[in-house]
Amino acid sequence: MQHQWDLIVIGGGPSGLNAASTAAENGLEVMLIDEQKTPGGQIYRKLSVVTAENRFLQADDRKTGLDIINRFFKSGAHYAPETIIWFAEPGRTICSHKGKSREIKSQYMVVATGAMERPVPFAGWTLPGVMGAGASDILYKDASVTPPGPVVIAGNGPLIPLVSSHLLSLGVEIAAILDMAPFTKRLTSLGALPRAMKDMPFLLKGAGMMKKLYLSKIPIVHGVTQIAAHGNQKLASVSCITPRKTLEFEVATLLFHHGVIPRTHMSRMLRLEHAWDSQQRYWYPKTDDRGMSSNEKIYVIGDNAFVHGADVSALKGIIAGIEVSLRLNMISNAEASNQYHAVDKNMNKLLAPRAFVDNWFAPDPKLYKVDDDVIVCRCERVRAGDIRMAVEQGCHEVNEIKIRTRCGMGNCQGRMCGPAVAEIAAEALGTEVPQVGSLKIRPPVRPIPFGQICDVEYIH
């Protein structure tokens, strides 16, 4: 086993895989650490195992994914699946695999932990039967399992039309699609449409999905401002409010989605600098246009750096791989230029529709203006009212609120409540989210058995 790797790549999605492949092909000793069993991340989950059965992706998407995965397997990069990193600092990580923790050192790191669904609290969201829309895709990709119908899909984000059309084609009964997008955002995003048309295939794909849904006779309710899940220990119905009416649907599953946000626990643990995007309303690690973070030996790429989708992520991976190879003097400037050439051209085309998409699905800040009795911290059952009371009692920063209310102290380490506690606190203080700070993230970023901490295998 290596004493020190040239590069550790954290995450097995398209960006991480490409970074590892590019660097390994350029001669670096690369280790890719993946918490999953097979490469592909979320979007290409299990693609290398399940072939024709994966009906989600169109043939060319499926080919893209398989090409990325196969390239990785051939590249010479070392693959460490089912491995959880719980400690990381620049230059080294400690990870756990099959009950044993060991230290892994490297000169450079690429962080590619991807995105997660934006967690937005609402009444009843902790009931069994309520899931993120992405969860439905994951269940199908992992196990060919579909959620029990009737299903309601609610929210505002790219997965709404995507997951809806998947379930439609699988014959799942969809009781309604509840569109929670603010109408004004839809109007203003039309301005970005001309530029978006540089990537017509992408736009046509989206339009095609929408057309299928409109023709399907599934009730689509626009202008929904609030939803609530009801049931006794289990989801039984979903109610929604629009400016004109209140509706209720009997359901077995509620899939909700408000876009995706970068997963920042790893980049926070590495003490990288982050910035706040006020349109997308998420924190993201600051990087230059090649992916270098505020630490010159750590690159952050893919949806982990900024949510741009799988195709852009894949290219960012290649760029980071080229960068690290160059900086370790494994390739010359001329070779690097060559490798960049194809990537940069593609990148411009793929980035063209982002302004439109980002605006179309931009979240409404009023999303977080939830009633006092709505649970915000699922793990510790802390409610919005508790957070507002802590603010009133002088806690003006989220870590103060955390120690006052226990919000963020549970198993998920603030992943599900972090955005909401900041938005609610900022709103209560009449200020912007960056002013209230962000939850301090310290190792272990995943719960780890006490005994494993005793017993870490260190490199000497």
Partner 1 sequence: MKQHSSSSVVKKVRALFPGKGSRARTQGTQHFDIIIAGGGIIGAAVGYGLARKGCRVAILDAPPIIDRASRSNMGLIWSQSKALGCPEYSRLGFLSSRLFPALGRELLDTSGIDIVYSPSGGIIPCLGEEDFNQRSNYIDGLMAQSGGDYPGIMISRGQLEKMLPKINFGGQVVGGCFCEGDGFVEPLKLLFALRRGMVNLGGSFLNDSRVSSISRDAKGYVLKTAKKVFSCERLVLAGGMGNRQLAAHFDLKVPVQPTRGQVLLTERVGDLLPIPLLGITRTPGGTVMVGFMHENVGMDTGLVPESLAKEANWAVSVWPGIADLRVIRCWSSLRVMPLDGYPVYDTIPGHSNAFLINTHSAVTLAAAHAKTLPDFVLGKGLPPDQQIFGLSRFKNIEVKKA
Partner 2 sequence: MKIENKGDKRVTIVFEGIEYRVPEGISVAAAILGHIHADYTSINAITGEQCAPHCLMGVCFDCLVEIDDLPNQQSCMISVKDGMRIKKQMTLVETN
In the list partner 2, partner 1, none, the entry touching 333 (Cβ below 5 to 8 angstroms by class) is none
Q: How many Cβ atoms sit within 10 Å of the Cβ of residue 365?
A: 15
- By CB under 8 A, name the one of 145, 187, 197, 403 that touches partner 2: 145
Q: Is 199 exposed, middle or buried (0-12, 13-18, 19+ CB in 10 A)?
A: buried
CB of 256 to partner 1, least distance (A): 27
> Which position among 142, 173, 364, 397 is part of the footprint of partner 1 (CB under 8 A)?
397
Among 66, 123, 170, 193, which residue interacts with partner 2 (rule: CB under 8 A)? 170
Check residue 129 for interaction with partner 2 (CB under 8 A). yes
Q: Is 106 near partner 1 (CB under 8 A)?
A: no
Distance between CA atoms of residues 216 and 253, nearest Å: 19
Indicate which of partner 2, partner 1, none lies near residue 27 (CB less than 5 to 8 Å, by partner kind).
Answer: none
Q: Which does 319 bind (CB under 5 to 8 A by kind): partner 1, partner 2, none?
A: none
Residue 34 Cβ vs partner 2, minimum distance, rounded to whole Å: 12
# binding residues, partner 2 (CB under 8 A): 43
With CB under 8 A as the contact rule, the residue among 358, 380, 386, 423 that binds partner 2 is: 380
- Residue 234 contact among partner 1, partner 2, none, beta carbon within 5 to 8 Å by kind: partner 2
Is the dihedral angle over the CA atoms 342, 352, 275, 114 positive or is it negative? negative
456 binds, among partner 2, partner 1, none (CB under 5 to 8 A by kind): partner 1
Q: Is 405 in the site for partner 1 (CB under 8 A)?
A: yes
Residues 6+ apart with CB under 8 A from 106: 4, 5, 6, 7, 8, 31, 91, 92, 93
User: Could you count the other beta carbons within 10 Å of the beta carbon of residue 1?
Assistant: 9
Q: Does 431 bind partner 1 (CB under 8 A)?
A: no
Chain position carrying tokens 């959880």: 84
Residue 450 touching partner 1 (CB under 8 A): yes
Q: From the CB of residue 401, how many other CB atoms can be counted at a distance below 10 Å?
A: 29
Asked if the bond preceding 262 is cis, omega within 30° of 0, the reply is no
The region of 72-80, 274-282, 290-298, 409-417 touching partner 1 under the rule CB under 8 A is: 409-417
Q: Which residues contact 111 (CB under 8 A, 6 or more apart)?
A: 10, 11, 266, 267, 270, 285, 293, 298, 299, 300, 301, 304
Q: Give the C-alpha separation, 306 to 20, whole Å.
A: 19
Distance from C-alpha of 253 to C-alpha of 116, rounded to nearest angstrom: 20
Q: Which is nearer to partner 1, 157 or 408 (CB)?
A: 408
Q: Minimum CB separation from partner 1 for residue 379, in Å?
A: 10
Of positions 172, 176, 312, 424, contacts partner 2 by CB under 8 A: 172
Exposure class string for 300-336: b at 16+ Cβ within 10 A, else e: bbbbbbbbbbbbbbbbbbbbbbbbbbbbbebbeeeeb
Helix or strand run (H / E) with residue 255: strand 253-257
Contact residues toward partner 2 (CB under 8 A) are 35-37, 42, 49, 53, 116-117, 119, 126, 128-132, 134-135, 138-140, 142-148, 170-172, 233-234, 263, 378-381, 410-412, 415-416, 447
Contact residues toward partner 1 (CB under 8 A) are 87, 89, 94, 386, 389, 393-394, 396-397, 399-400, 403-406, 409-411, 413, 440, 442-444, 447-451, 453-456, 458
